[in-house]
Amino acid sequence: MTVKKTSVLVLDCAEPHELALFYARLLGADAQAGHEPDLVEVVGGAGVHLAIRKDHGYAPPSWPRPEDSQQAHLRILVDIADLDEAEREAVSLGAVPVDPDAGAGAREVRVFSDPAGHSFSIAATGWSV
């Protein structure tokens, strides 16, 4: 028998409420208190479920330095016609573009760093990870 499972990506940071608000605004979701004191959840329609956890000794990731690996990142999918608008929205909320090919013409995947330094991408629906 297989046990029913679900999953949630948990991002560590120094200020979970602020980072949860960033992702809630970016994803059109809601930020709400989690089941643990240092956890804030971001939930919404279309399968949005993240958690942001306070790490009292948090140090931001050092990627995209060439000697460091990315480890993991969040991929946000949008319709290809909405890529430019999604990028403008992310930047207006505090995301920092880190795509080395930025400005090199049409791109179906755009890479950013969130306000706490985690990498994420906005990609056209249908593009693989």
Q: What is the pLDDT of residues 38-81, one digit of tens each?
A: 999 999 977 888 999 998 888 887 776 666 665 677 888 888 88
Q: What is the pLDDT of residues 80-105, one digit of tens each?
A: 888 999 999 999 999 999 876 655 55
Residue 52's Cβ-side half-sphere holds a number of Cα atoms within 13 Å equal to 25
Q: Predicted confidence band at 129 (pLDDT cuts at 50, 70, 90)? A: very low
Alpha-carbon distance of 122 to 72, in angstroms, equals 14
The better pLDDT of the pair 75, 16 is held by: 16
Domains and CATH numbers, the chain: 6-58 (3.30.720.120), 60-129 (3.30.720.120)
Q: What is the pLDDT of residues 102-125, one digit of tens each?
A: 555 567 889 899 999 888 888 887
Q: Residue 69 carries which side chain, given as an amino acid letter?
A: S
Identify which of 87, 82, 75, 79 has the alpha carbon closest to the alpha carbon of residue 120.
Answer: 75
Q: Measured between alpha carbons, how far is residue 65 from residues 3, 76, 104, 107, 118 in Å?
A: 40, 22, 20, 21, 13
| The pLDDT of residue 28 is above 80 | yes
Output the 3-class SS for the chain: CCCCCCCCEEEEECCHHHHHHHHHHHHCCEEEECCCCCEEEEECCCCCEEEEEECCCCCCCCCCCCCCCCCCCEEEEECHHHHHHHHHHHHHCCCEECCCCCCCCCCCEEEEECCCCCEEEEEECCCCC
